[in-house]
Amino acid sequence: MHELAVCRSLLRQVERVAMQHGADEVASIHLSIGPLSGIEVPLLEQAFSIARAGTVAEGAELVTSLKGVRVRCGRCDKESAVTVNRLVCLHCGDWRTQLVSGDEMELTRVEINIPETVN
Amino acid sequence: MCDTCGCNVTPGNENLVQAGGKLASTSSGRDSVEVLHGLLHENDHQAQHNREHFERHGVLAINLMSSPGSGKTRLLEATIDDLGRDKRIAVVEGDLETERDAMRIREKGVPAIQITTGSACHLDAHMVHDALHRLDLDAVDILFIENVGNLVCPASFDLGQQLNVVLLSVTEGDDKPAKYPVMFRAADAVVISKVDLLPYLGDFEPDRARRHLRELANAASLFELSAQTGEGLGAWCSWLLAQIPQRDQAAVGERSFTVTSA
């Protein structure tokens, strides 16, 4: 259940962003997640609903964008959309590929509310 | 362990601790901050700090991961028997409870720090950092960090190691790399352990495990060994020794850089 640990780390970052910009609340938190990150989005959402209590993100919406797994072949240089446990080139069959996307575990954007007096 | 215990913010890395980001307004009138940080930003930052310590002290740090009972501690005991006279080895042990594994390692005359995680299913960079404060890194050539037995969570947490080694015992099945791709994709070396049991199993084929590993686009070195009988241990130990000189060069580079910049 490391999603809870991930969530706490995420919330500390969000709180820091909110504090630095003088925000009084966080409206939404945007994440980019790939299947090879080791993060299960439903578990992360569940953990978030618990971990956000008592933080500036208490009322925030968690918006996750799930990335597909894509590789680029080291031999034929073509890209393929693949599954998590078969990162093999679909064009020439070579296994020596580079991951193009699919291991993302990123906080991309935070929407906050900044009170007029601070602005 | 920290030479300038501040403990970790320097001009070189302070950008990593600033979570600020660019502010813009959205169409709904709310303020939007672009961040683009890893979700485990704090852990990654601490891991980088640990890595700098290892490199400064010329330590080869290895994160040893596997299912519970794959023989991580047994492999370390056999490795210490083989290399312990020539190389200075230290071990950080991660377990939910007990000091048992650390005691086994200490019986070999090697310093071992036990981290008991309670209910946490993985080590993180902060736990390892705390353990490092109890070790004299100048007196260590190879530091093994034996992670909590678990093929899922430890793969997500960088500890600052230079290499990930994943054990796969023959009793677990040769399709483990296909079932746990996040873990096996992160491996720099895979050790197939307990091969002395192969004749009794009949359904584990090392070549099949290798194929599953390659299908993860991973060119990691693969070792087949038995810590019990010593079969295959030589190749593993030779590989380990070959990793150390690279660290020595890095440490020398680090020192000469410090002199130049002073």
All structural domains of chain B with their residue ranges:
58-252
Distance from CA of A50 to the nearest CA of B (A): 17
Q: B155 vs A38: CB contact, 8 Å cut-off?
A: yes
Neighbours of B200 (CB within 10 A): 8
Question: What stretches of chain B adopt beta strand conformation (E)?
Answer: 22-25, 31-38, 60-65, 89-95, 112-116, 142-146, 163-169, 189-193, 221-224
Determine the pLDDT at residue A1.
57
CB-based contact (8 Å) between A96 and chain B? yes
Instruction: Provide, rounded to the nearest whole percent, the portion of chain B with pLDDT above 70.
Output: 82
Radius of gyration of chain A (CA): 18
Which one of A39, A86, A111 has the shortest CB-CB distance to B215? A86
- Average pLDDT, rounded, for chain B: 86
B42 burial via Cβ count (<10 Å: 0-12, 13-18, 19+): buried
Q: A17 vs B216: CB contact, 8 Å cut-off?
A: no
* Chain A residue numbers touching B42 (CB-CB < 8 A): 9, 12-13
Query: Which residue matches tokens 């169409």?
Result: B27
Q: Which two tokens stand for residue B147?
A: 């992670």
Determine the pLDDT at residue B257.
34
* Chain A residue numbers touching B36 (CB-CB < 8 A): 106-108
pLDDT value at B247 more than 60 = no
The greatest distance separating any two alpha carbons of chain B, rounded to the nearest whole angstrom, comes to 69
pLDDT value at B91 more than 70 = yes
Amino acid identity of residue A39, one-letter, is: I
Q: How far apart are CA B220 and CA B201, in angstroms?
A: 25
Q: B38 vs A31: CB contact, 8 Å cut-off?
A: no
Q: B38 vs A17: CB contact, 8 Å cut-off?
A: no
Q: Per residue in B168-222, pLDDT tens?
A: 999 999 999 999 999 999 999 999 999 999 999 989 999 999 999 999 999 999 9
Dihedral (CA of B174, B176, B178, B182) sign: negative
Q: Are A69 and A28 in contact (CB under 8 A)?
A: no
Q: Which domains does chain A have, with CATH numbers?
A: 2-113 (3.30.2320.80)
Nearest alpha-carbon partner for B17 in A47, A115, A63, A17: A17
* Chain A residue numbers touching B185 (CB-CB < 8 A): 36, 87
Q: Which two tokens stand for residue B217?
A: 């686009």
Q: How far apart are CA A70 and CA A81, in angstroms?
A: 5
Confidence at B117, pLDDT banded by 50, 70, 90: confident
Q: Per residue in B123-166, pLDDT tens?
A: 999 999 999 999 999 999 999 999 999 999 999 999 999 999 99
- Average pLDDT, rounded, for chain A: 93
So what CATH class is B58-252?
alpha beta
pLDDT value at B254 more than 50 = no
Q: A9 vs B41: CB contact, 8 Å cut-off?
A: yes
Q: Per residue in B5-26, pLDDT tens?
A: 333 334 443 443 344 556 776 6
Determine the pLDDT at residue B31.
87
Confidence at B27, pLDDT banded by 50, 70, 90: low
The greatest distance separating any two alpha carbons of chain A, rounded to the nearest whole angstrom, comes to 61
Amino acid identity of residue A81, one-letter, is: A
